[in-house]
Amino acid sequence: MRAWRLPTWKSDPELVEVDQPRPGPGQVVVRIGGAGACHSDLHLMREFGAGQLPWEPPFTLGHENAGWVHETGEGVTGLPVGTPVAVHGSWGCGACSRCLAGLDTYCEDPAAAPIPSGGGGLGLDGGMAEFMLVPEARHLVPLPDGLDPVTAAPLTDAALTPYHAVRRSWPKLPPGSTAVVIGIGGLGHLAVQILKATTATRVIAVDTRAAALELAERAGADLVVPAGGRAADTIRGATGGRGADAVFDCVGNDATLALGAAAGRMLGDLTIIGLGGGTLPVSFFGVPYEMSVQSTYWGSRPELVEVLDLAARGLLRVTAITFPLDEALEAYRRLEAGDVVGRAVVVP
């Protein structure tokens, strides 16, 4: 079969022929219907080097995956061949308290995982291929009726990641509150919809690009604000001077983190979602009093079930452009150039 594999750190992936995987006991082979191209893949291609992560190339890229059960190993039940499924992409040990709660992202004993890695497409072979081996059936979530794998694939990260972040701040987002989403790309346009679908907060979207702000309006944002020197003042003016109860930074560079702190409210949340490499000095007068600043990573399997339910009910809609498997490298190039509005999905 064909697969896009990262041969070494700081390189482009290569389309190569590899053996089609076969499942062992408890394992499942998924025929890929869609694989999302993510900015995290660009970080793997451009920024990491030997020894910086607990796993090394080569491996097949693609950690946002959905498709159909193709073959199951001994002991797998409840997943007949042909079942449409989404793949929960982070694979932990399965035995620690975090993994038992479905939070493999925060596994406390990753070295004890059946195959230690960050997950499919993160050290182990992912879904930028015709077939993908999932090492444990528990990492699969059957798709609700009406949701196809091409639509579901980006939901496994681009929606799950902001959903987990927003869910943490639900108590701070009642009627009369305000939430800000910075960066209306693959994650941000879904963060806006998640806020509208699951809270009563007013949503303000911030981006540098006019097309992204238009996307935010279509996603349901109540106010869009161009990023720049007066963005924080505009947000404070729109909130009666109080600032935002929760800020979700889907970029994470120095400028956006500074904006989040400047636009936030006392007792509010500033959640760093994007991997922009920025830093935020935190001191007594550096952020509003009792503002909580946190990073998050992906989301849990139970949260993925909830995300898929929202999408199946039409409450989340992915803006996506699709590419055939042969053109996955072009998808990454366009993503890197900022030419993708929403999400890029590779369809083998």
290 and 322 co-located in one domain: no
Average pLDDT over residues 218-223: 97
- Residue 307 covered by a domain: no
pLDDT for res 270: 98
CATH of the domain at 286: 3.40.50.720
Evaluate whether residue 322 is within a structural domain. yes
Q: Does residue 207 share a domain with residue 98?
A: no
Instruction: Please state the domain count of the chain.
Output: 2
**How are strands ordered across the β-sheet holding 59-60?**
14-17, 2-6, 59-60
* 273 and 168 co-located in one domain: yes
Q: Note the pLDDT of residue 52.
A: 87
Is the same domain home to 128 and 196?
no
Average pLDDT score over residue span 212-236: 96
Residue 99 maps to which CATH number? 3.90.180.10
Answer yes or no: do 137 and 168 share one domain.
no
Q: Hunting for tokens 């346009």 — which residue is that? A: 189
Q: Is residue 225 part of a domain?
A: yes
Query: Residue 128 and residue 3: Cα distance in Å, rounded?
Result: 6
| Over residues 74-83, mean pLDDT | 97
pLDDT at 88: 97
State the residue range of the domain holding 13.
2-142+318-347
Query: CA 236 to CA 131: how far, in whole Å?
Result: 49
286-332 tens-digit pLDDT:
999 999 999 999 999 999 999 999 999 999 999 999 999 999 999 99
Whether residue 151 lies inside any domain: the answer is no
Cis? peptide before 58, omega within 30° of 0: yes
Predicted TM-score of the model (pTM): 0.96
Tell me: do 138 and 181 sit in the same domain.
Answer: no
